[in-house]
Structures are given as structure tokens and as C-alpha cells.
A and B are shown apart, each in its own frame.
Chain A
Amino acid sequence: MFREPLILSLKLALITTLVLVLIGIPLAYFLSRSKSRTKPFIESIISLPLVLPPTVLGFYFLMAFGRNSGLGSWLDDTLGLSLVFSFEGLVIASVIYSLPFMVHPVQAGFRNLPASLREAAQLMGHSDWSIFHRILVPNIKSSLITGIVLSFAHTIGEFGVVLMIGGNIPGLTEVASIAIYKEVETMNYAAANQYSLILLLFSFAILFMVYAFNRKSEKVYWK
């Protein structure tokens, strides 16, 4: 019973991070190279979760995917998919909520690479895909790991969005941060303390690893 919220938090963070890697890297690459007039608009949309109260995001998510909305009822009727108060809904909301934590560092990584690396590979006759995965991505390793870890840690620590969209259903949507809130509500401080301590140590450990890795890779690559 005690482990269930922690495992659910880890599962949510892993799936969210995986989805963010798949969509965040191409998106960050596009933004790092784009000179389009729509770029500030896209960047603003991606960065909104940084400044928006999580409850606002959760509210609009409920409005968009709730049973009473057109989209929500269509998903439910045709695909049997109910995003509100479900784990799938938590994943989608988490992806949106953590998107800037993946896109920003990766975009900065791409932007800081000398253009000559891509140009040199281009003149050698390599395709865009080959340049992307053989030259560019390996050289933003530290930015990528920062993005992955921040997204993962941010998802682990989510509260507002999760509560709005997932509620508090044990075994389905009750993640560790919600469990802490519940334990405090019921005055069970010992359990709340256990959850909190685990999250605190876990968060510190992964941040420490990121900073240690980045320090090492800075020394190696850009000496």
C-alpha cells in the first residue's frame, strides 16, 4: 500500500519522459534552427506551464477532455478512452506540463553547437537524418541528460495538475505527491514524512548526478 503511490509516480515519470524525448528533441531542433515568425508563438505555448498555475492547465484539460466536452465524449464513444481521472490522462497532462523542461535545455544545446559541425557534415554528403543523429544529438548529450532528468524530476513532483485531472484514486492516479497531501490531511505525519523524505533524497540524487555529469562533459568536449 505504501509502495503503490511511489511506483505509480515512477511509472508516470518514466512514460512521460519517454514521450518527451520522442517529441521534445525534434521540437527543440526545429526551434533552434527556425527563423519563422511563428517561432515566438510556439515558444510561448511551450513555456506556458512555467508561469501558469497548474490548476489553470488542469482546469482547461478538464474542460477539453471531460465527458461533457465534444472531444471528451467523442474519445469515450469512439475509442473508449476517458482521459479524465485516468492514468492516460495523467500522462498527457504531464507531457504538456513538463514540455518546457525538456525543450529548453535541448534547444539551448542545439543552439550552442557551432554551425560549422552541421555544415561540415552536409558538405561530406550526409543526409539531414544522419547529421541529426550521428553529429548533433551526440554533441548535446549533457543538455539532453539535463532535459531528461528535469522532466523526470518535475513529473515526480507534480501535484496541482495531477490532482485536477487524476483526482486521488488509489492504484490508478494516486501518485506520491498526492499521497503526501492525503496523509497530512488525515494527520498521519509519519507516513507523509516517509514519502517526503524519499522524494527529497531521490530528487537531490538525480540533480547531483546531472550536475556532476555536466561538469565532466564540459571538461571533455569544449576544452
Chain B
Amino acid sequence: MIRFDVHKVFRQSGVDFKFEMKEEIAVGSITGLSGPSGSGKTTLLRFIAGLEKFDGELMCNEVVWSKNKVNVVDPSARKIGFVFQDHALFPHMSVIRNVEFATKQPDSAYIADLFARLELDDVRDSMPHQLSGGQKQRVALVRALAPKPELLLLDEPFASVEQRMRSRIVDVIRHHHDENGSTVLIASHHDHQLKDLCSRILFINNGRVKAARNYSSLSPDHDHGVVEEIHLEENTALVKVKKGEDRLELRLPVSMLEGVQKGDKLKLDFLKDQN
């Protein structure tokens, strides 16, 4: 479990921005961080990576990583793969040198597989300034994955990437997670990709977790219910759903129920308000 209880006050343009979060993230999970720009998503990733000092405590598997502005475990020892928002590709190194620089013992077959999956074979020997924004994004992801990190921190990995390639990126992240059992944290504006990928999403605003939403994609039977009755009203419908031993009554817009019949399975997501 990654546990943190962190706080810090940033002064931006003469205005105080208070960051205050207390959360737990399951090791081996894929967690999304959703929220508007400047809400604190990147800051949280930087805290976890040890790139930013803060008050409070950050623990991973009961080992204190950082406490009160001190990195107890050096960032380099945390086995982190980080995709920075600006990609942080080394400008003087070719794409393949960038990737190989990330690991002391490069697994050539693994790297070649990542290049193929993300359609980067043609730019292996290119320099970063010759790449498009989307290619830089994918190279940054390959570089973060190359050392097979235990903790993968992705800051806007879907930005400047076209829709088709976003799905590829989702597949690559999921594949890495399944193969290595690593913990993944993704900060993104792209809620659709987050919902595809994450078992849990933290909704962040003004430096605080405003809500957490659990998704059932990793445990398919957990949050499904069976439709027992549908009563159509004017624009809404009253739907009675059996979920385990429980029975729920949901009032939903008719448009959401197109094609849904009695006996169908519905996937249920619950928003847990943390305030």
C-alpha cells in the first residue's frame, strides 16, 4: 500500500495554493488522477517520486519514503518510471539512446516489442527534435517502461496523441501492469482512457481529493447488477437492479437504457464522496 498524508503551501502569483491530501493507493493497482489544470495532479506525482519536498509522510509497503521535507528513500532507489508532461527526452541523444540510458541492463527484446507496439520502429535513430508531439510522448513512455519499474507515474500520457494511438498506449500500460504487477498512477484530462484503464480514479481539485470512484474493470463480477424490472416514465426510467443480495432502485435517463432489457447485466460505478 502506498500511503500518504501530505501537505504543502505553494505561493503562486501572490496567492497561496494549499495542497493537502491523505490517501491510500493499493500496490499493484492502476489509479487515475483526474482534475482540471493546476489542481495538483502533477504535484502529487512529484511528491511520490521524491522530486518535491513536502510536510507530512509518504510510505510504500510500510517503508517511509519521505517525511517532513526529507527523502528517506532516495528517488533513484524507488524503482520509478516517470513520464513527464514535457517528455524530458534528452535532446542530444537519439531515441534509442534515450531509452537505453534509462536502464543499466537494457532488455533489447522487450524494448523492441515496445517500439513495435507503439509504432516507433521508424524513429529509433531519430533525434528528439525530429519527432512529432505524439511520437515524443510514446518515446517517453517506452523510456519509462524500459527498466520495468515497480511504480509507473504517468503525467498526461495521452496528451498530443491521436485517438487510435491512445488505445495502443492503454494496451501497453495494461500489458506492462499485468506482466510486472507494477503500481500505476496516471494523471490525465482524458477521462475516457482513465475509465478504460483504472480500477480507481481520484478526482482532484484545489490540491485536495474531492472524490474517489472505483471501477470494476479489474474484478468483473464485483460491481455488476442484473436488471430485474424497468418502468418507463416520461424522460426517465425506474430500474430495479439486483446486485448480490442487494436490490437497488435507480432513476436513469431513458437515453442511457437504449437496448437494455430485463435480465441484462449492468456495470455499476459508485462515486464515493470524501467530503
What residues of chain A have their CB less than 8 Å away from a CB belonging to chain B?
114, 116-117, 119-126, 134-135, 138-139, 141, 220-223
Contact = CB atoms under 8 A, between A and B. Distances in A.
B223 to A, nearest CB: 35
Interface stretch (B9-17, B97-105, B182-190, B208-216): B97-105
B88 A119 contact: yes
B129 A122 contact: no
Nearest to B81: A123
A36 to B, nearest CB: 16
B38 interface: no
Contact of A116 (B75, B76, B86, B92): B86
Contacts of B101: 121, 124, 134
27 contacts: A114-B86, A116-B86, A117-B88, A117-B90, A119-B51, A119-B82, A119-B88, A120-B84, A120-B88, A120-B90, A122-B75, A123-B49, A123-B51, A123-B76, A123-B78, A123-B81, A123-B82, A124-B101, A124-B102, A124-B103, A125-B104, A126-B76, A139-B90, A220-B129, A221-B92, A222-B91, A223-B129
Nearest to A125: B76
Chain B residues touching A, range: 20 to 34
B147 interface: yes
A175 B84 CA distance: 52
Interface string B60-102: 0000000000000001111011101010101110000000011
A24 B103 CA distance: 31
Q: Is the interface of B mostly helix, strand, loop or mixed?
A: loop
Given A123-B78, A134-B101, 11 more contacts: A117-B88, A119-B49, A119-B51, A119-B82, A123-B51, A123-B81, A124-B101, A125-B77, A138-B92, A222-B91, A222-B129
Given A119-B84, A123-B49, A124-B102, A221 B90 contact: no
Contacts of A121: 90, 101
Interface string B127-169: 1010000000000000000010000000000000000000000
Interface string B104-126: 10000000000000000000000
Contacts of A134: 101
Contacts of A123: 49, 51, 75-76, 78, 80-82
